[in-house]
Structure 1
Amino acid sequence: MSGYYIDIAFGDLPKFAADRFGTNEGLVFESRRYTYADIASQVDLHARALMDVGVCAGDHVCLWMLNCDDWIFLSFALARIGAVQVPLNTRFRTRDLEYVLRQSDSSTLITHTVAGGPDYLDMVRELVTLPGKRHRVDDKNFPKLERVIHLGATSPAGVMHFSDALASPYTSAHQLEEQATAVQLDAPVFMMYTSGTTGFPKGVLHHHGLLRNIAERGFRMAITPNDVILNYLPLFHAFGYSEGALMSLLTGAKQILTANFDANESLDIIERERVSIMHGFEAHAKGLSEVQQQTPRDLSSLRTGIFAAGMLSATPIAERAVKTLSPLQPISGFGMTELWLGVALGALDDDFEHRTATSGYPGIGYELRIVAEDDERLCDVGEPGELQVRGEHLMIGYYNKPRETAEAYTADGWFKTGDLALWLEDGYLRFLGRIKDMLKVGGENVDPMEVEGLLLEHPGVHQVAVVGFADERLSEVAVAFVERAPETTLEPDEVIAFCKGKVASFKVPRHVLFLDEFPMTASGKIRKVELRERAREELSS
């Protein structure tokens, strides 16, 4: 491959941005504001400190932290010295952490203390035998783990206190530059674990070539230094890392980073900071729309952003967001960790229907095909099948999982997404959902997203998910999990009655279960595998 952006390593981005946009503000987190020159300086300082404590090129380093400015600095510092960053889901608990620490072969774990939040260090102590006075970990259960680094004002026993290394790193700027120059662009730069909607997640390896993908999308969305990106998406997830941290440095757009998503806080920031770009999933669009209707803010600065659309369950949410968050003109898109973002992407001049009911147009550098499940022929327009992808920006592979990597591809080299999709007449894509989520009721296919989209029209339904439950006569039937809207009372019979007459009888849920909160992945997806198990437990008893 050739071209300008492909010659830039992740670790070079801060200097690249500082040279182009140096005095412009590039990052805002809480009360701290940084110019692009400040970011480059902080990244180099963190890189030198990491080298001081023993992190080397090729090391795998876990970042287990909420969104913060240090996350940004450490991420690019690791790339600068040629280490492989392994961002961890902040919803992980001990069992998840144990699996990823071991499976990723990480030499270093970096974490912090969050006031009022989960105690990450306590969870580390439950798993890892930390050293006494020494800093080197020696635990046979984690043979590759050498050190745990803690960011914070205190210095707990058994961990390295990173502020000491930051205060006066002895690694020189010249030594760092020598290290950075040796970084190979086709080497892994990060290992991002999949959301894990089923089973344990897999570590997806990517190299520096992804920067071309992001730069091209920046051009398509006309992102410039005049833009302000609000990033409430988790940095350990592809969406937040790509469209916030990386896009900001490539384009000069200011990134306003928050620790997590809060609709009220986000709307206040949009008004105060004159945000022009934000992204999200259905949960974000729904939350922002609801709060904006309750307490309107000045959103006149909003321009665009990527929001999920196409699925029947997402369309009513997208339609409401376009109207409520005006003048925001969101575009739809499709991506996944293995393929990265922009596999399909809408256009800035898309009409209302394309913004809310499609998943975009095939992106630059990707080839897409939709294959029939039964005979593997190419599907006709309007015919659902499995979406398969090949192109320049696909993963290196799943770390230490050669069998799973091989099984992810067809014999002729197409990645099998496991997603159901169809082509529209004009060449746009519509994502329909995960193939494994489809129900087979008495021999009839039922798209759970169709039923979910219908139920979301009920004023008493705040959130809903439909899964299958085994049935002797019909093979399986639909179960609707419902989170009631605030201050509403809703009974199962009402939910079922609302569906009758609007959809075919085999699509109507046979059971309705209520819950206060859905189990979610970090990317805002409902963990349906947990709901299926809950349905089995509650309905089989």
Structure 2
Amino acid sequence: RHSPLLAGRTRVFWDRLKGVMHCHNPIRTITDAANRMAMSSRDVILMYLPLFHCFGLYEGPLMSWVTGAKVVLTTMFEAGETLRLIEAEQATVMNGFDAHFYDLCHHPDVDQTDRSSLRTILLAVGMASSEPVARLAQEKFCPTLSAWGMTEVGVGATRTFLDAPVDDRCVESGHPLPGYEFKVIDPDTGDVLPPSTMGELCVRGYATMQGYYKRPEATAEAIDGEAWFHTGDVATIRDDGSVRFLGRYKDMLKVGGENVDPTEVEAFLLEHPAISKAQVIGVPDPRLSEVACACVVVEPGQAINDGDLDAFCRGKMASFKIPRHLLVVDDYPMTSSGKVQKYLLRQMAAEQLGLNGG
């Protein structure tokens, strides 16, 4: 049971990977997740996430293995092809990130596609900017579930319940699966923070990794003496134990000494009628050290400039949170699993804005 079963990969820096060693225990995690989702051999899982990504592997072939569900695999994600397969294969379950479901919900064929076979979607949400997509997916497809996880903790360590209120399924990241403990700490002091206070999420449980392959120093840095894995994620935990993922600490901005949560600003920018997608990054500033830069995709036929953005934000949020720079882009650099590569956005912004660093 404790012999290594697999080694997942997780990126540390742009050009370095860590091997994440797991024993057989995560198989039980998949079984617990399947039970919470009421998975059975009657389900048809449509999986377009790459299988080298833990989300794709665990929620696709391994979920099929423990439940007997059929799994339909594709070589890559393409919204039109995915809609065709939903109807052709009578898919009942789908998984993905907000970028996938934004494309699906806005595809011109969505309303002509028979989506009635779908019964649930597992959508990784929690960040404020994910909420509009989660709510739209409820309208266009079926009830969604939310989850949080990462390679080091056996992938999905939380999941919402099927009968949870819509607000919880669109905003929260779910309750812990059996065998997991969670806490939120002050990353500077290590003190456990009270409910609903933002801090670093720490996880302890039977399915957390055994360690990083041939990286004992990195393992010791990530897992403390009491077996808590320090995730580097920003989160809150409610009184009822529900976890909400808010982002990565490395993506948090420090503007003139003030902490800025980029997902909060992104969610606000999405209220602008000309903006269809928003990502906020930090860029160097000689006075404040760092300021916010909004990288936006505009709606067809719309336009926006720096003055428009400043007028929209002024008086509605703290001045230090308002983006000082605006970049209008066609789309974002993405990983093959559908995550925005913010480090590439920072490089792009530094080049286009003529800034040093980034």
Q: Does 1:432 align with 2:263?
A: no
Which of 78, 93, 104 pairs up with 1:288?
A: 104
User: Which consecutive residues of structure 1, in runs of 5 or more, have no partner in the other structure?
Assistant: 1-184
CA distance in 1, matches of 2:125, 2:269: 17
> Is contact 1:293–1:324 with CA below 8 Å preserved after alignment?
no
Larger relative contact order (CA 8 Å, sep ≥ 6) = 2
- Post-superposition shift, 1:219? 1.3
User: Which consecutive residues of structure 2, in runs of 5 or more, have no partner in the other structure?
Assistant: none
Size of the alignment, in residue pairs? 355
Aligned residue number for residue 335 of structure 1? 149
Q: Does 1:508 align with 2:322?
A: yes
- Post-superposition shift, 1:435? 1.0
| 1:272-328 Cα distance to aligned partner (Å, 9 max, x none) | 221110011011111111126764322111111210222111111111111122xx1
| 1:481-520 Cα distance to aligned partner (Å, 9 max, x none) | 1233344333333333332233222111000112233222
- Post-superposition shift, 1:260? 0.9
- Post-superposition shift, 1:249? 1.7
Matched ranges for 1:328-477 at <5 A: 328-477=142-291
- Post-superposition shift, 1:255? 0.6
Which of 304, 307, 331 pairs up with 1:517?
A: 331
Aligned residue number for residue 52 of structure 2? 236
- Post-superposition shift, 1:407? 0.8
Matched ranges for 1:14-413 at <5 A: 185-196=1-12, 198-291=14-107, 295-325=111-141, 328-413=142-227
Aligned sequence identity (%): 46
Matched residue SS, 1:353 = helix
Assess, with a 3 A threshold, how the Cα gap between structure 1 residues 197 and 314 changes in structure 2: closer, same or farther. farther
Question: Counterpart of 1:352 in structure 2: which amino acid?
Answer: V
Matched residue SS, 2:334 = coil
- Post-superposition shift, 1:251? 0.6
Structure that is richer in strand per residue: 2
CA distance in 2, matches of 1:200, 1:259: 25
Assess, with a 3 A threshold, how the Cα gap between structure 1 residues 235 and 403 changes in structure 2: closer, same or farther. same
Question: Counterpart of 1:207 in structure 2: which amino acid?
Answer: C
CA distance in 2, matches of 1:446, 1:528: 16
- Post-superposition shift, 1:228? 0.8
TM-score, normalised by the number of residues in structure 2: 0.93
Question: Counterpart of 1:365 in structure 2: which amino acid?
Answer: G
Question: Counterpart of 1:287 in structure 2: which amino acid?
Answer: D
TM-score, normalised by the number of residues in structure 1: 0.63
> Is contact 1:231–1:244 with CA below 8 Å preserved after alignment?
yes
CA distance in 2, matches of 1:484, 1:361: 35
Assess, with a 3 A threshold, how the Cα gap between structure 1 residues 189 and 401 changes in structure 2: closer, same or farther. same
- Post-superposition shift, 1:454? 1.6
> Is contact 1:333–1:359 with CA below 8 Å preserved after alignment?
yes
CA distance in 1, matches of 2:108, 2:123: 17
> Is contact 2:131–2:171 with CA below 8 Å preserved after alignment?
yes
Matched residue SS, 2:46 = strand
